[in-house]
Amino acid sequence: MQSPTLSICLIARNEEDVIARCLQSIKPIADEIIVVDTGSTDRTIEICQEFGATVLRHEWQDHFSLARNYGLEQASGEWIMWMDADEEMDVDDRQTMKNLLPTLDKDIYSIHLVNYIGTTVQANESFHIAHARLFRNHKGFKFQFSIHETLNVHEVLPDQDESQIDTLPVKVYHYGYLNDVTYAKNKSERNITLLLKAIEAKEPNPWLEYHLASEYSRMKQYDFAFKYVNWSIVRFLSEGLTPPSLVYKLKYSILLETGSIEGAWPAIDKVLVLYPDYVDLHLYKGVILHQLGKHEQALETFDHCIALGDKQLNHLTLHGSATFHAYYYKGQCYEQLNQPQDAWSAYRSALNFYPEYEPANLALQQLLVSHPDLHEQPSPIS
């Protein structure tokens, strides 16, 4: 069966440090690569041309959707996939994508997006989610909103629940929120300016306050972050919408970062009624209980995390929330309960899932200083 043609569309500006990695990852499967350049002054355009990409120049108008839609209008492939210049498709999954194209019978699909944060690329600082990236051309799909643009799925497919879009087994890695990238590009400051501008213009996007809270949280300006995440919840509710799970995830991560446990408990239980399958919120609940000294209840909660697993891509999920993070916190609880053997087993289990996980390594070393005989005990918890 002949494979349908695939256009991959990007926008870029001064991305010479990263765009070759992106293009290298997609060139073997793309019939057409379209890059909309919004004003590069470095080698971005030259690099794109070296990879055979079609480069379209487009004046930057403080509006991401305008730039992306300009690229979509030029795409000739039967299918379109959109990416960012600071992303990379998994080398083992790109042929999977090509093989799947002739078999697809719906108009839009998600992929498995892996977002890295922190200082370097590490598994324990990555978040996973399904993200709508692949769609049929000439069906009316386009981007909306000036920043943190999204596809107009509800306009094209009014009966489609976006959380139920099928996810292809294709991973794309996003490196744009690693600390060195955000600092070098002043990304948060730029985004905050655009978000405030969109709010002032009353752009009909209920996500604006959430994204503003995310930027302030990334900059560790937690007072502003907490204010805007609460405004986000109010805005969703005022529009008759249930606030999405990642909005609550951000709220409780801010409360934990600032030690505001009194604001987190027991309110998080009400959120878990809405999202009972969201393992990250259960992990946060366990941490809250642990910090309140309710260690037995916390242990039950971490066991529930482990039972849930962390493969639910319908939520923004921290890698390891159902494995090494949960086992690490179990170890912390056991230490508080003066059960060193169980703590040792929990830390060892965490390290079985992720041997480089520094908190568990340090905790285990400290535990063995005071209990040197523990390493001779039976095998760790399964």
pLDDT per residue as tens digits for the range 269-320: 999 999 999 999 999 999 999 999 999 999 999 999 999 998 889 999 999 9
Q: What CATH number belongs to 6-182? A: 3.90.550.10
- Residue 148 scores a pLDDT above 60: yes
In whole angstroms, what is the distance from residue 137 CA to residue 343 CA? 54
Residue-wise pLDDT for 7-38, tens only, equals: 999 999 999 999 999 999 999 999 999 999 99
**Nearest-angstrom CA–CA distance, 315 and 320:** 14
Label residue 104 by pLDDT band (50, 70, 90).
very high
Query: For residues 7 and 5, what is the distance between their CA atoms, to the nearest angstrom?
Result: 7
The whole-angstrom separation of Cα 131 and Cα 112 is 7
Q: Would the pLDDT of 132 be above 60?
A: yes
| Whole-Å CA distances, 131 to 91, 94, 108, 161, 174 | 18, 16, 11, 13, 12
Please give the biggest Cα pair distance in the chain.
68
Lowest mean pLDDT among 133-137, 178-182, 204-208, 221-225: 178-182
Instruction: Give the residue-averaged pLDDT of 205-221.
Output: 94
Tokens of 66: 């305008």
How many residues are listed for the chain in this entry?
382
For residue 74 the two structure tokens come to 């030029």
User: Given a cut of 80, is residue 376 above it in pLDDT?
Assistant: no
Instruction: Give, as one character, the DSSP assignment of residue 162.
Output: G
Q: State the pLDDT at residue 183.
A: 54
- Of the candidate ranges 5-14, 234-243, 371-380, the one whose mean pLDDT is the lowest: 371-380
CA separation, residue 269 to residues 265, 289, 301, 330 (Å): 8, 11, 12, 20
- Give the model's pLDDT for residue 382: 47
Among the residues of 51-134, which ranges form H helices?
64-74, 94-100
In degrees, rounded to 5, the angle at the alpha carbon of residue 156 between the alpha carbons of residues 313 and 165 is 15
**CB of 343 closer than 8 Å to CB of 334:** yes
Residue 377, pLDDT score: 55
Q: What is the mean pLDDT of residues 65-92?
A: 98
Mean pLDDT of all residues in 350-379 = 88
Q: Which residues pair with 33 in a beta bridge?
A: 8
Share of the chain above pLDDT 70, in %: 96
